[in-house]
Each structure stands twice: as C-alpha cells, then as structure tokens.
Structure 1
C-alpha cells in the first residue's frame, strides 16, 4: 500500500537510513507492506519548478515510482526533481541512473564524513512517468 501519513514517521524512517534529520515543511510517500515501511520518500525544498527528494528503500516497486512521478509532476507541478546521495553509495547511484537521473555535481563534505553527489531528473527523462502509461503520458 502507498501512504503519505504519518509523515513524521516516514521522514524519521528515511532519515535514519540516510543519516539526516528532516524538519518541516516536507511531505512524504511510502510503500508499506504488512504494516512495515519498505520504501520511503521525503519531499522538501519545493520551489514551484523543482523539489528535493530523499529516498531510502529496501526495495522499490513500479507502483511506488509511478506514485512519486505523479506527485512531483501533477500535484506539486514540478518539471524536475533534485536528489542527493552519498559518494560512497554505489547502489543508490545505480538506482538513480535507472530512474533517469543525471549526475549534476559534487558537494564536498555534505554528509559530514562523506561527499554528496547531486542528481537531477526532468519529467521527460523519468521512465515511469510520461510514457509508462501509454502515448498520452502520465
């Protein structure tokens, strides 16, 4: 099941896994299986055309990725999303590439003990969005 509440619990779950603490305002989405969060997204720093996304996951479903795309583009009205990952997290870097994100920069010491890598994805490049639901797009 895809849920957006309780947002503080989802944000704490994501934050504990990626080593950050989130402070409102933010919104969240999570995939809950048998009462347990298995993937969570935190959306913050919304500018109208961009939103920062933080993610932690044990596994990701196509249903969740479509829900994230719909939320970012339809509900928030954004054309792009920004993501960061640790420079030493090769699994996250591969996942971001599979989602259509492009590397955009390095932030030295962003995570304290590790550099952060900055990725961006625009809606035309997101494989689970525009063309995933047919020729008319998402």
Structure 2
C-alpha cells in the first residue's frame, strides 16, 4: 500500500537510512507492506519547477515509482527532481540512474565525511512516468 501519512514517521525512517534529519516543510510517500515501511520518499525544497527528493528503500516497486512521478510532475507541476547521494554509495547511484537521473556535479564535503553527488531527473527522462500509464504521457 502507498501512503503519505504519518509523514514525520516516514521522514524519520528515510532519514535514519540515509543519515540526515528532515525539518518541515516536506511531504512524503512510502510503500508499506504488512504494516512495515519498505521504501520511502521525502520531498522538500520545492521551487515550482524543481523539488528535492530523498529516497531510502529495502526494495522498490513500480507502484511507488509511478506514485512519486505523479506527485512530482502531475500534482506539483515540476519539470525536474533533484537527488543527492553520497559519492561512496554505489547502490544509490545505480538506483538514481535507473530512475533517469543524470549526474550534474559533485558537492565537496556535503555529507561531512563524504562528498555528495548531485543528480537531475527530468520528467522526460523518468522511465516510470512519461509513457508508463497512457499514450498521452505527462
């Protein structure tokens, strides 16, 4: 089941897995299986055309990916999502690339002990949204 509440609990779950603390305002989406969060998104720093996304997952589902796309593109009207990951987190870099993310730069010391890699996911590059639901796309 895909849920957006309780957002503080989802944000804490994602934050604990990626080593950050989120402060409102933010919104969340999570995939809950048998009462347990198995994947979650935190969306913050919305600027009309862009929103920052943070993701943690034990496993990802196509349903959650489509829900995230719907939220970012259809509900918020964003053209892009921005994602950051640790430079030493190869698994996260692989997931971001699978989501259509393209590396835009390196932020030295962003995570304190590690550089951050900055990615853009443009709506036309996001494989789970543009043509996934209908011929009209986004």
Q: How does 1:1-138 map to 2 (within 5 A)?
A: 1-138=1-138
Specify the SS of the correspondent of 1:97: helix
CA shift, 1:133, in A, is 1.5
TM-score by length of 2: 0.98
Please give the TM-score of this superposition, normalised by the length of structure 1.
0.98
CA shift digits 1:49-105 (9 cap, x unpaired): 000000000000000000000000111110100000000000010111111100000
User: 1:136 Cα deviation (Å)?
Assistant: 1.2
> Structure 1 residue runs of 4+, over 4 Å off?
none
* Residue-pair matches, total: 138
C-alpha RMSD of matched pairs (Å): 0.6
